[in-house]
């Protein structure tokens, strides 16, 4: 039920809410109601004005309006472009650093972006952690190679002594 004692602004809000929520609500039912006749006329005039503007417009139509354009194209487009720039800027730099650290590859893109791959202090934190891991890995491999060479030389000395003792 619509309150008879409601103020004019409240009546307009009731009519707008009814239009949005109730599919069966028709503005023509308000034409005969003396309390809502002014609101009906006002809303009808606004709707007619808006529809005339949309019919005359080259860009907009009754189905595709300015609000749809901003909400469904402009705002998502801006978010998409910002996301793409963020991914390319940070993700690409991260990838270039990682390729240089893991495989020793330096690309022309690093030169274009002005990235100094030899400057360890300019590495981002996550890349610096990878750099430290790689340095530890290289150090462990060098220690392993040294131990292998040491064991190999000891084996050769032992084998020479053994062959010499067998020959005697």
pLDDT at residue 105 tops 90: no
DSSP state of 88: I
pLDDT reported for residue 4: 65
In contact, 42 and 12? CB cutoff 8 Å: yes
DSSP state of 5: T
pLDDT reported for residue 3: 62
pLDDT in tens, 3-20: 667 676 777 777 767 665
Of the candidates 62, 63, 122, the one whose C-alpha atom is nearest the C-alpha of residue 94 is 122
For residue 93, the surrounding DSSP H or E stretch is helix 92-103
Q: Sketch the domain layout of the chain as residue ranges.
A: 8-63, 71-167
Distance (Å, whole) CA 125 – CA 120: 10
In contact, 19 and 2? CB cutoff 8 Å: no
pLDDT in tens, 58-104: 777 777 778 888 898 999 999 999 999 998 888 888 888 888 888 88
In contact, 91 and 84? CB cutoff 8 Å: no
In contact, 19 and 42? CB cutoff 8 Å: no
pLDDT at residue 134 tops 80: yes
Q: Mean pLDDT, to the nearest integer, of 27-38?
A: 67
pLDDT reported for residue 63: 73
Distance (Å, whole) CA 106 – CA 112: 12
pLDDT at residue 139 tops 90: yes
Both tokens of 81, joined, read 């472009």
pLDDT in tens, 141-160: 999 999 999 999 999 999 99
């Amino acid at each position: 039920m619509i309150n008879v004692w409601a103020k004019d602004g409240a009546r307009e809000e009731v009519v707008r809410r009814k239009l949005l929520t109730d599919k069966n609500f028709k503005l023509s039912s308000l034409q005969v109601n003396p309390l809502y006749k002014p609101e009906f006329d006002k809303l009808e005039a606004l709707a007619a004005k808006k529809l005339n503007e949309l019919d005359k417009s080259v860009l907009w139509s009754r189905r595709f309006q300015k609000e749809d354009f901003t909400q469904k194209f402009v705002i998502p487009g801006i978010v998409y472009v910002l996301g793409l720039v963020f991914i390319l800027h940070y993700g690409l730099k991260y990838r270039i650093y990682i390729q240089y650290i893991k495989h020793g590859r330096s690309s022309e893109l690093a030169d274009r972006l002005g990235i100094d791959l030899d400057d360890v202090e300019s590495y981002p934190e996550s890349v610096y952690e990878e750099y430290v891991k790689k340095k530890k890995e290289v150090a462990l491999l060098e220690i392993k190679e040294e131990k292998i060479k040491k064991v190999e030389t000891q084996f050769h000395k032992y084998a020479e002594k053994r062959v010499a003792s067998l020959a005697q």
